[in-house]
Structure 1
Amino acid sequence: MLSLPNLLTLSRIVALPVLVALLWWPHWQWGYAAAFVLYCAMGITDYFDGYLARAQGAVSKLGIFLDPIADKIMVAAVVLMLCATRDIAGFSVIAALIILLREIAVSGLREFLGGLQVSVPVSRLAKWKTTFQLVALGALILAGAVPGVPLVKDVGLATLWGAAVLTLVTGWDYLRVGLKHMD
């Protein structure tokens, strides 16, 4: 049950309070730099837990359950902290809100469909959405570490909006599949 892939997934969950603490003070450049390193490490473990589980034939029910939870709480925590510190502000809060609402809606839809024994595979476009989302949040964290380089924040905000658009498209795709199974 506590295989290496599951331990990697759990490490992301355990690291979240540290990541939040490092982002707590909006003008603490060293905190943001450490948060960026930790965020990257968490992203790397996200890749390797799935890769190792498949390569070792160690895909488990615990891993299937925990991996999406770890991903969603990491994204939600970072989005909330970046909004709270005003690293995401103004109109861009709407992009962050779109991302959070879609995560909640798709989780609920997957739970509903799971009860009907209907599986909804992750699409290639949803993987691109996740990539844009992770790059955006990483860039916005890095922007707090290097405030003298505005291009980093611009890249973060642009990819955040790209992720929001892909979020709407993939969210609609999941909803269309789900509606076919509702009375």
Structure 2
Amino acid sequence: MTWNLPNILTVLRLAAAPGVAIMFLYFARPWADWFALVLFVSAAITDWFDGYLARAWKQESRFGAMLDPIADKAMVVIALTVITGFQGMNPWILLPATVILFREVFVSGLREFLGAQAGTLKVTKLAKWKTTAQMVSIAVLFATGVFQHEFLDRVQGMDAAAIGAVLDGEVEDAVGLSFYFHAEALTWWIGTILLWIAAALTALTGWDYFSKALPFLRDAPRGRT
């Protein structure tokens, strides 16, 4: 194992994956949402940098090639688990998240089964777009949690009529309720749409990998007796 900068960034990204969930164990919301968002975005940025630096500096290694997809999958799986939980098992989130999680487990199992032939399942450009869509959608949905709890913090002690009056413009919005209310709704819709797009790309790449692996899954014909 070579401890160059690209590999260090990959290891840090892998360590950040459980850190996203841990934020919600030790911090109250919205601070947990803020920390998880910053940690996730920072880790996602390293996903581009470590690959770029490894190629530019000619520091590509077997260790990095092995760990990079594991770090990506760990980030996505853990982040989606957290988001599904704090979204209250919303079917608009749960369904695409299930497709993504199923595909990641399926392809990982497929690679393990193929062993030496796993090289046939090379990462495609579509798979890279899939990963980008996953990362962006998850980051936007973490932002939804930030805006939601910033809004809830500001309406403590207010009844529904008072909140409605502020949102309708009848009362001065001194604490930015309207901004956080609309920001929550906007990021939820954008994040959800992007998550469905990511799920569609995930399913397509999963089918592509399965099609490429199919010749290796067929049993050899039995000889005549």
TM over 0.5: yes
Deviations 1:10-64 (A, max 9, x none): 1112223321122458971222122111111101111111111111111111111
* 1:179 is the counterpart of 2:224: no
**Paired residues of 2:40 and 2:139 also in contact (CA < 8 A):** yes
Q: How many residues align?
A: 183
User: Which 4+ residue blocks in structure 1 deviate beyond 3 angstroms?
Assistant: 23-27
Match of 1:156 among 181, 188, 191: 191
- Aligned-pair identity (%): 40
Structure 1 stretches lacking a partner, 5+ long? none
TM-score normalised by L of structure 1:
0.92
Where do residues 1-183 of structure 1 align in structure 2 (5 Å cutoff)?
1-24=2-25, 28-86=29-87, 89-116=90-117, 118-147=119-148, 148=181, 149=183, 150-183=185-218
Distance 2:36 2:30 in 1: 10
Separation in 1, partners of 2:106, 2:69? 14
What letter corresponds to residue 63 of structure 2 in structure 1? L
Q: Which ranges of structure 2 fall in alignment gaps of 5 or more residues?
A: 149-180, 219-225
Q: Secondary structure at the match of 1:146?
A: helix
For 1:117 and 1:158, locate their aligned partners in 2 and report how far apart those are by CA, in whole Å.
32
Larger radius of gyration: 2
SS of the aligned residue for 1:57 comes to coil
- For residues 30 and 53 of structure 1, do their structure 2 counterparts lie closer, same or farther at Cα, with a shift above 3 Å needed? same
Indicate conservation of the 8 Å contact 1:113/1:119, yes or no.
no
Structure 1 residues 103 and 28: CA distance shift in structure 2, 3 A: same
Q: Aligned AA for 1:181?
A: F
Q: Deviations over 1:87-122 (max 9, x none)?
A: 662243011010001011111222333423643222
- CA RMSD after TM alignment: 1.9
